[in-house]
Every structure is written in structure tokens, then in C-alpha cells.
Structure 1
Amino acid sequence: MPRAVREQQMMDAAVQTFGRLGYRAASMDEIAELAGVSKPLVYLYLNSKEELFTACIRREGAALVAAVRDGVEDVRAEEPADRQLWAGLTAFFAHTAEHPDGWSVLHHQARTHGEPFAGEVARTRAELTAFVTDLIGAAGREAHPTPEFGDRDVTGLAQALVGAAESLAGWANETPGVSAKEAAATLMNFAWAGLGNLMAGKRWSPAR
């Protein structure tokens, strides 16, 4: 079997094991057994448990970012900015639902075990946030030639939206019957009504 295929099998087994048991509880013996290989072979190909977990985080993070980008690119040419954001959110929730072990590795396991794992997840989140920042900025320019909110507002809104999507994905994965489109619609109803007003120059302010 080619090395790349064998490594893919071991990585798949590692993501499943880490996602379901957690980093501390998962053992290289269990990963090797699930992959159908010997434990020395896992160490030969993927070195230490820490390096294997780091590789899993990077792979799952890259796959998530690619899924969101692809979802937007599929509609970018013919759809307005809000539909592009809808497509990206739907792709995000579809991917996290279809890869629950990978999402567990990213959202639960990696963040709770310190460095270097938390830093790897932070890089994935930063990439997603930068992409969403571009989408919101484009939506603002589309809605108004001279939008009344600046780069700092756009960056803050993107941070809030990505954080909400992460929390909502956890809820959706744990709640039977919640589809990717339903989760995306929930977030659009929560966020886009406010964004739409903001882009029209209508800001909320506390009562005087």
C-alpha cells in the first residue's frame, strides 16, 4: 500500500480516536488497532502522539476552511453578498455535521490542552475570520457606496459571527434533527437583520 494511503488511514483512525476519547485518554495502541497496523508503524510514520494530534488538528482545520471557501466560491459569481454568507455558513455547518470527530478535535480537544494545540486552532480560526471579514466588507460596499462603519467594525462583526457559528455547530451536532441549512438560517436570522440595518446606516444605541 502506498505510504500516502497508509498515512491517511492512520490519520482517519487518529481523528476518530481523539475526537471520541479525547487527547489524554486516546492511546497509540487504539489508533493502531483501528487503522489495522502495528503501533511501531504509527510511530514510524507519524512520530509522537503530540505530533500526531497536531497533524490531525492541521488536517481538520484545513478541510473546514476549504469547505467554507468552496461553498462561497460556488455562488460568488451570481449571488449577492448575503447569499454568499449564507452559502458559507451552510457549508460550515454541513462540514461540522459530516465530520463530528474532526469538529470535536478542533472545537473541544485541541482548545483544552494548551500549546501547541491551541495555537493551531487559533490559526484556523484566524483564517476563517479573515475570510468572513472580507465577506462582510463586501456586503457593506454592496449595500452602500460609502458604508458608515469602518474596518474595525467589520473585523469585530466577523469575530462575533465566527464565534457564534462555532457555538451553534456544537449545539446543532448535539440536537437531533437540526440540519445544516436550519443552523445557517438560525444564525442568519440572528445576525443578518442587524447587519442589514447597520449597512443601511441604522445603528443601535443604548437608551438615553
Structure 2
Amino acid sequence: MTSTRGKRMPRAVREQQMLDAAVTIFARRGYQAASMDEIAELAGVSKPLVYLYLNSKEELFSACIRREAAALVDAVRAAVEPQDAPPDQQLWSGLRGFFAHTAERPDGWAVLHSQARTHGEPFVGEFAAMREEIVTFVTQLIAAAAREDDCVPDLADREVAGLAHALVGAAESLAGWANDPGGEGGGTGAGAGAGGAAGEGADRPSAKETAALLMNFAWAGLANLMEGRPWHPRGKTTARNP
């Protein structure tokens, strides 16, 4: 990043510049190891200016989480097809938006998924609020699908909520895998997201491919449940000798 020390610019622009640098450093180093000196250097400002704008490392990290969470939710909402589209099409388009955004901003996803969740309050609460917003959206889609004429109408609310949480959890895990398909499935830990380098290459699946993978895994099975063909465990079997 080119140094901009001494250049006058609006406070809002300067603050976003600091947040951009902070997201990169937090994704690369992790929250505990991230240095305010390094963040200031990457942003092209003095460390006292970072403190003047954002008060502390904790508040800077919280601001990064809020910004990245809002950007992710906005991306999913913008991608979703209109409300008169079938629920599966709405979910498909939302998943494509989710995976496209996490691929375009791997550092932001690292801050949300790997860092915010593992350092306690208030950070985990910021992540949880974002996640709950997405879970609520998915819950509404599953409930709408269950109300269709050719579907079982009486899925319990608890079942619908559980399915939504499972689907969102699978999407979160797949986002890490899609950003680093040749690694160990993380792609979002400290050192993985810096500069978007992790996972780049010919083997990296597109957002469309990743969304299709999840739809085939989750929504196809969900259709069986809604159409009255739930899976049941088999009866007891006789243990085989080794």
C-alpha cells in the first residue's frame, strides 16, 4: 500500500483506509499477534492517529468485525432473487452471493469466521448477530418451502430452525474450503487470508460451483423430508466378528 502520510483527506476515507489495513493484519497475524504499529504502517498513517480515530486495538477490531459483517449481509441480500421466486432459487442465489463475497474478501471472512469467534466478548457477539441475521433468512426460506402445496406442511418450528442452522454452518465451512481447497479446509486462519493469496489457483472452485455443491448436499435431502420421505435409522444389526 502506498504511503499517504501528510496527505489531507476526509476523516471517513482515512478511517476506511485504517480498517482496510487492520483487516489485512488481523487476518494475517491473528488478533493477539496483530501489531498496531504494523497496522499504522500499512495504512500509511501514524500510530497515534489510529488511536485518535479508533481509541484502542479492541475497538479497532470490533469496527472491523462490524464492517465486514455488514458487507457480507448486504452482499447476500443483494444477490437473493425476488420474493416471488421459488425458495430454492432464492437460497441458491443467496449462497452464490455468500460464496462470491467470501472469495472476493478472504481477509474479511478470516476476521469474521476465524478471529471474531475465538476471542470472546464483545467480538463473538458481533459475529453472532451477523450469523443470526443469515440464519433467520434461511429459516424463512425453509418454512416457505414447507408450505408449498406439494410439501409436508407441518414441519415443527424447532426442526426448521435446526435445519437452517445446519445449512448456514455448512456454508461457513465450505467458504473456508473453497478459499483453500488444497489445504486442510481452513483457508481462514491467521496467515491464510493475507492479500487474498490463500487458495488462489486452478483448483479453486467458483462461487457457483460451491453453491451447487451445497444445494445438492443439503437442499436435495431437505426435499425428501418435506415430501414425506424422511431418513430413519436401520434396525439393530448383528455385530460382525473382526
TM-score interval, smaller chain: over 0.9
Identity of aligned residues (%): 71
The answer to whether structure 1 residue 169 and structure 2 residue 189 are counterparts is no
Instruction: Work out which of the residue numbers 218, 223, 242 in structure 2 matches 1:191.
Output: 218
Q: Given the alignment of the two structures, is residue 81 of structure 1 paired with residue 87 of structure 2, yes or no?
A: yes
CA separation of 1:20 and 1:207: change in aligned 2, threshold 3 A: same
Distance 1:77 1:132 in 2: 13
Preserved contact between residue 143 and residue 199 of structure 1 (Cα < 8 Å): no
More helix, by proportion: 1
The 5 A counterparts of 1:1-208 are: 1-72=9-80, 75-77=81-83, 79-144=85-150, 147-175=153-181, 176-208=203-235
Measured against aligned partners, the alpha-carbon deviations of 1:124-162 in whole angstroms (never above 9, x if no partner) come to: 111111111111111211254761312111101000000
Q: How many residues align?
A: 206
Q: Which runs of 5 or more structure 1 residues have no equivalent in the other structure?
A: none
Q: Where do 4+ consecutive residues of structure 1 move more than 4 Å?
A: none
Query: Which has the higher Rg, Structure 1 or Structure 2?
Result: 2
CA deviations on 1:92-136 (whole Å, 9 max, x unpaired) are 100000000000001111112122111211111111111111111
Please give the alpha-carbon distance, in whole angstroms, between the structure 1 residues aligned to 2:20 and 2:148: 42
**What are the ranges of 5 or more consecutive residues in structure 2 without an aligned counterpart?**
1-8, 182-202, 236-242
Aligned AA (1:187)? L
Deviations along 1:167-190, one digit per CA (max 9) or x if unpaired, are 111000012421111111110010
Over aligned residue pairs, what C-alpha RMSD do you find? Answer: 1.3
Code of the residue aligned with 1:64 in structure 2: it is L
In 2, Cα distance between equivalents of 1:63 and 1:206:
42
